[in-house]
Structure 1
Amino acid sequence: MEKRITDLTKDEIAKLFPVKLSSHTSQWKGIYEKERDLILSVLNDVILRIEHFGSTSVPNIIAKDTIDILIEISDENNFNSEIVEKFKTINYDYILQNEGSSQHMVFVKGYSPTGEKGQTFHVHMGPKNHQIWDRILFRDYLRERIEIAQQYEILKIKLSETHKYDRVGYRIAKTKFVQKVTEEAKQYYQ
């Protein structure tokens, strides 16, 4: 049986797929839209909302070329094994994401255990009351506040150098900034 990305250790993944940033491209929006349509074709009956988020959704800042997608589902469908099976039919691997005391479903696509990488996608999924939906506030705030988006870009460049072979460390090192800006965004949008 062929090894899957979910069979690899954190260290193996880090060596095969180092943190690499790319200049923003308008193509990311179209890539998201095409994948959104594919996802909707197999999961339209459970999806309440679908959004492009993450740095590829913020114009003019560098990003890892991974397209991040956020999907709202009902509380009843949270952690539903049928959803996992449907995602498998479109070549996604399932990962249970732990963020402190909070868990949510994550699906990844585009990684090969041999180190070959195609277009990658990370799909995060949870009900509307889950804290992952704060990421939309963060995205919208960066879109409106160019100076904060530029600060985020500078931080990402620095962290991509110090955490090149530690994807989880890279994500965690951004947490303080993301939390601070998310709190600002909550106040701004109230």
Structure 2
Amino acid sequence: MPTDEEITRHHDSDPDEDPWVLGPPKPTVVELTPYDPEWPARFAALADGIRAALGGTALEVEHVGSTSVPGLAAKDIIDIDLTVPDSADEPSYVPALEAIGYVLTIREPSWHQHRGLTLPAPRVNLHVFGPDCPETIRHRMFRDWLRTHPDDRDRYEQAKHDAIPGGGHVMDYNRRKQDVLRDIYDRMFRAAGMK
């Protein structure tokens, strides 16, 4: 199990690591849509497909990100955390996911051996980590915090809207909302007695 320090540490990308398997994404316009009550059902169907494809290799399949928080505007993309026995062992799960339409797009050994896959329709960002990963714990904590703290949910939504102007890659959008995101994380960690 990760320590509190490992869970509360914010990750900054390794500047020497090129994570893009197929090259960096093209600049895109980020579009937020109001919360869609169909998102949980979409996640459930996607999770069933992942579990069917991977069998026992899928240790956990969790709905995370903004589409997992009722009332929160989001990009119409389902974020899923998939826990496998060893995320660095790509042959144990990537071919099975590719067979159902997922594409490996990110490989980040420096960040808990993270692998990222996408599905074009319905749009999915699938984040793959190993067991007891600090990042999956952070994702679940943040989701649950926003579900029960509407002021922070609304503050985060405003930060998302404020981050859209400026264009660029989705990573640029993420950087523009990072300060608010990290502030909410830090308040959440303090409330949990972890800082």
Distance 1:145 1:154, change over 3 A: same
Compare 83-92 and 127-136 and name the one that shifted more.
127-136
TM-score by length of 1: 0.81
Shift of 1:180: 2.4
C-alpha distance in 1 between matches for 2:186 and 2:131? 18
TM-superposed CA distance for 1:97, in Å, is 4.3
Report how many residues are paired: 172
Pair 1:165 & 2:168 matched: yes
Moved more, 172-181 or 52-61: 172-181
| Percent pairwise identity | 22
SS at match of 2:56: coil
Answer 1 or 2: which has greater helix percent: 1
Moved more, 171-180 or 138-147: 171-180
Q: Do 2:58 and 2:83's aligned partners in 1 also have CA atoms closer than 8 Å?
A: yes
SS in 2 for 1:124: strand
1:181 to 178, 184, 187: 184
Contact 1:104 1:124 in 2 (8 A): yes
Residues 29-40 of structure 1 aligned to structure 2 (within 5 Å): 29-40=40-51
Q: Measure, in 2, the Cα distance between the counterparts of 1:56 and 1:97.
A: 24
Matched, 1:78 2:87: yes
Partners of 1:44 and 1:95 lie apart in 2 by 22
**Over aligned residues, Cα RMSD in angstroms?**
2.1
Take 1:156 and 1:100, find their aligned partners in 2: how far apart are those partners? 27
- Equivalent residue number for residue 13 of structure 2: none
* Residue type of the alignment partner of 1:105: R
Q: Distance in 2 between matches of 1:127 and 1:182?
A: 22
Map of 1:143 onto structure 2: 147
**Structure with the bigger percentage of strand:** 1
Following TM superposition, by how much is the alpha carbon of 1:125 offset from its aligned partner in structure 2, in angstroms? 1.2
Q: What does the per-residue CA deviation read over 1:69-93, in whole Å, with 9 as the maximum and x for residues that have no partner?
A: 011222xx22222311111001111
Q: Deviations over 1:43-83 (max 9, x none)?
A: 12112211101000111111000000011222xx2222231
> Aligned equivalents of 2:84 and 2:92: distance in 1?
13
Shift in Å, 1:181: 1.8
Partner of 1:24: helix, strand, or coil? coil
- The question of whether the paired residues in 2 share the 8 Å contact of 1:53 and 1:68 is answered with yes
